[in-house]
């Protein structure tokens, strides 16, 4: 059994000016910290160097989910402001992170923009309630919702975020947060990968509460996160098997892709819901390299990196990134774990 995880041991110091509050001028304009697990060495590169760091016959796997405008501003009958962050789409009432949860009750009707309304259908549990947005929740969100930028950016969504907080591969709407490693990719990088004989294929994990909510002691005790929906298309599964059979390596683009590949491998299914927490002590078997952004202290995403590098290796890489002026978080630079 893996040793208990002390989240305080996964903290690190980050100057406020290292948080990337806006995307780089060009999607592929970021820096890339390459970490070699065999030697423990670091190499400071550019995101545009990625194709040259891989080999013909390798396979790049990305998350094709699309972010929907999940944030709704609302008013209670009293006139007090509140906010809904819709976590997943579906028929009927949708799950939403509601604020302030303590002031919302079952049956409360909230006023939205454009004369629209929302109704609280269940008592909030851990801040999450079922909310009725009418027969077409996605239509409501597309009409008046905002791009759900992470709170650590310290700003509201701007027009540019509608495209820059969406990856090149975005397909089916279903995510309340972007799979941020994919934000670095451009048609030019994909073309360079193809020219080197490195295909790009997609899986899908709709990013919800499990990815971006801070870890809690009860999450660690259970060893589980909030469930998220995933799928691996048949063509992708076939290409992965072919790559393995021919001696190629699988490169997971982002922690959501990594969780999808591991969930598929463990379950033997092609779709489902996963609450998998990947942390030190977990043996990764479905991919070889990880391309990812820099993550918040004590987060499930940082622990996933720790499953590959260990605590000391992870914090050493992050310390190097801080010293070297890398930009952190959703719109920040990237790291490639070899």
- Which pLDDT score is estimated for 211? 63
Place of tokens 């550019």: 46
How do 94-99 and 71-75 pair as beta strands? unpaired
For the chain, helix, strand, coil in percent to 5 are: 30, 25, 45
- Which pLDDT score is estimated for 296? 95
Closest by CA to 149, choosing from 302, 25, 291, 329, is: 329
CB neighbours (10 Å) of residue 296? 21
CB of 288 within 8 A of CB of 262? Answer: no
Query: What parts of the chain have a pLDDT lower than 70?
Result: 1-3, 210-213
Give the Cα separation of 333 and 330 in Å (integer).
8
pLDDT in tens, 250-289: 999 999 999 999 999 999 999 999 999 999 999 999 999 9
Give the distance between the most distant pair of CA atoms in the chain: 65
Place of tokens 């998350």: 63
DSSP 169: T
Give the Cα separation of 61 and 250 in Å (integer).
7
Closest by CA to 122, choosing from 105, 143, 134, 145, is: 105
CB of 198 within 8 A of CB of 288? Answer: no
- Which pLDDT score is estimated for 1? 41
Domains of the chain, first to last: 7-67+160-337 (3.40.1780.10), 71-145 (2.40.10.240)
């Amino acid at each position: 059994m893996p040793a208990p995880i002390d989240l305080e041991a996964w903290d690190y110091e980050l100057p406020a000016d290292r948080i990337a509050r806006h995307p780089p001028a060009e999607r592929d304009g970021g820096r890339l910290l390459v970490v070699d697990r065999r030697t423990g060495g670091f190499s400071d590169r550019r995101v545009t160097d990625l194709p040259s760091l891989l080999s013909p016959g390798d396979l790049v796997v990305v998350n094709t989910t699309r972010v929907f405008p999940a944030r709704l501003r609302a008013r209670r009958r009293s006139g007090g402001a509140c906010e809904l962050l819709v976590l997943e789409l579906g028929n009927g009432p949708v799950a939403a992170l509601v604020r302030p949860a303590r002031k919302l009750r079952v049956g409360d009707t909230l006023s939205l923009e454009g004369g629209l309304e929302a109704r609280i259908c269940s008592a909030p549990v851990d801040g999450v309630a079922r909310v009725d947005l009418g027969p077409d929740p996605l239509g409501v969100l597309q009409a008046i919702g905002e791009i759900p930028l992470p709170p650590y950016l310290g700003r509201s969504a701007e027009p540019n975020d509608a495209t820059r907080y969406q990856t090149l591969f975005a397909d089916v709407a279903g995510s309340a947060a972007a799979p941020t490693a994919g934000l670095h990719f451009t048609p030019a990088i994909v073309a360079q990968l193809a020219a080197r004989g490195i295909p790009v294929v997609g899986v899908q994990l709709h990013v919800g509460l499990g990815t971006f909510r801070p870890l809690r002691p009860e999450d660690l005790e259970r060893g589980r996160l909030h469930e998220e929906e995933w799928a691996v298309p048949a063509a992708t599964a076939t290409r992965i098997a072919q790559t393995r059979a021919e001696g190629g390596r699988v490169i997971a683009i982002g922690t959501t892709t990594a969780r999808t590949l591991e969930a598929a491998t463990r379950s033997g299914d092609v779709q489902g819901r996963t609450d998998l927490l990947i942390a030190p002590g977990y043996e990764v078997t479905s991919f070889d390299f990880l391309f990812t952004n820099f993550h918040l202290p004590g987060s499930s995403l940082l622990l996933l990196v720790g499953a590959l590098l260990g605590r000391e290796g992870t914090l050493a890489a992050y310390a190097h990134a801080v010293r070297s002026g890398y930009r952190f978080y959703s719109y920040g630079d990237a790291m490639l774990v070899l």
